[in-house]
Structure 1
Amino acid sequence: MSFKTKMIPLAGAIAFAFAGTAAAEDIVVKIGHVGPISGAIAHLGKDNENGAKMAIEELNAKGVMIGGKKAKFELLAEDDGADPKQGTTVAQKLVDAKVNGVIGHLNSGTTIPASKIYNDAGIPQISPSATNPKYTQQGFKGAFRVVANDGQLGGTLGRYAVQINKAKKIAVIDDKTAYGEGVAAEFVKGAKSKGAEILVQEHTTDKSTDFSAILTGIKAKNPDVIFFGGMDAVAGPMLRQMKALGITAKFMGGDGICTADLAKLAGDAIGEGQVVCAEAGGVLDAQKKANDDFKAAYKKKFGIEVQIYAPYVYDAVMTMVDAMVQAKSAEPAKYLPVLAKIHHKGVTGDIAFDDKGDIKDGTLTLYTYKAGKRELISVVK
């Protein structure tokens, strides 16, 4: 059985109909995708976009029928540079292009402002990676996400720091973005709930490269753990500077740092088990084979490993199209009610949304790094 056959099961999950005759009138379905394809975290944006490309290519190869017509899927990929202003500009561009739905954005800082534009246009949006709770707390009927939010992720990391890492004194740094501040705030809540002392909360930016002043001040306080709310492009240099200063505290962070590239960015400063991070998602045993098959197919196609969220992007596209097939229409107003109540079996697990658009029973995956490679600790709910 080929990978493509396994990725789109015919029974129970996406139940695609196939083109029976050449006489069926084709319809064009435009799926927008937005992520940072330029800038410091372009490697993550490209990873997301690759996941969307795989889904679109498979859908077109299958000859999906929507409402008795053969659908031709087109991917309209845009770059938001992880910049909120650029994010709203490309969001309006996708609205003007009359896309049938949007997968994205990657960052909370771009997803949240863009979501109002999509909502005002009545276009459903599924983010595969934005974790700030505010995204789904705005009351937008068309806003969904397929990963756990920062309340779950940051809180779990905070509790883990105290219960498992036995941390009593913690320093916190964030990058002032919606994501960084959000996950750091939830981490603090989780750590405090288990009795930890937060020694200091510092701030940097998502473009900073020099952390010597912040880290020197933190070193004097001798924390057990340093938590960073931000992305791997900043965390890597931060770890290098921690090592140069002789700081041996555990380094923790959310999904933004939990990438295959972190070890490259940090070099030998990654340590052995010094870094603990969490990915906002995770595959339980029942889905492990499908997820492994996806990752193998991804590597074969692109020649690189999955960074983090390509499987979630793939699932987001497939979930949206599943709703279109069930609704027998790609018109946003017609398939949105079906999407809100969808039950889709994806490569990352079962996808269903609560009344806010958050994924039900979202999982988290805890990782560390050993011998320069990311190593699984556990999958938790």
Structure 2
Amino acid sequence: MLPRPEQARIVRGAVLNTIGADTPYAESQPLSIDEIRLESPKDGEVLVRIDAAGICHSDLSVVNGSRPRPVPMLLGHEASGLIEELGPGVENLSLGQRVVLTFLPRCGQCPACNESGGKLPCVAGAQSNELGILLTGGSRLTRHGRPVAHHLGVSAFAEHAVVDARSVVPVGDDVPADIAAVLGCAVLTGGGALLNAARITAESRVAIVGLGGVGMAGLLTALAYDCKEVIAIDAQNNKLDLALEWGATAAYTPQRAVDRQVTADVVLEAVGHPAAFETAAQILGLGGTLVTVGLPKPGETAQIEPLSLTAKAQSIVGSYLGSAIPSRDIPIFEELWRSGKLPLENLISGHIALDEINTAMDDLASGRVLRQIINF
């Protein structure tokens, strides 16, 4: 029998206090580094010592107000670490195990979990994420005696996290912490969308619209699957050059792609902006599939030509978390990385300290970086 852990511990974490603060964030400081009281894991939960956490646009979208969430909130949803405590009833995980944290736990009981094969988000998991609580219910975080919301069931911008056991997937000890972290969001979202929603093959002609961390993960996945064409599209020339360096067949700015009448069988839209969605629709070829993983602001709209969908037998598919089942799909990407076909090291722009979090959000918003990794 495991010894009974302490009832709580104090951890340092990055707490979002204000949504929609003025930029630059380095000056307005919407995130503060605070001491947080973290309760021990309850039934079905685990305590993870965070080793690495990636800074993603889904974090930025909460900071800038694109994805409204309750505050104060301890941010961070893309991470890896080691299991330090097991709550009662957790039997399929072990102390000391390296795990990837994933931001949409699956209850395993709702129709979305049991009947969709990953296509639909878990209803209970999505609801708990919106409320800022764990799937098992409630928050394990307090500051000055008041609750702090969890970010997507993870809250990884801290030294430790208590999460639902269904929010972690074990990986091999040979997987570095930063590589394991990006498996949980960037790779699962961008790469998973191509495998699960678009079902790419070696014959696919793939275009990636938006070369952030998720888009670049999709590009690397298309290259790993030896797709016939891999076309990179982004407004920033430095990212186009990087995509060509990594092996993209061609690279264009959005307007140039439209002017050149570029077409693809599969188009991955990974920006979350109406203009990017419109570009993706314009370059979609005959019988093609547009998979959108971007998250626009609520209420934003885009214009497309409906006739094209019918006349060209096209499809538009939304994909959340890459339409993935993390326990099924993370091992696929892990093995692709291990074989050398998926060089995930390319996604990592640099490593930072937790105290640099506000400046890191500015860097992400500017498009200068793909994935910055916080090391603890």
Task: Identify the structure with the greater strand proportion.
Answer: 2
Task: Identify the structure with the greater helix proportion.
Answer: 1
Per the TM superposition, whether the score is higher than 0.5 is: no
Q: Normalising to structure 2: TM-score of the pair?
A: 0.35
Q: Normalising to structure 1: TM-score of the pair?
A: 0.35
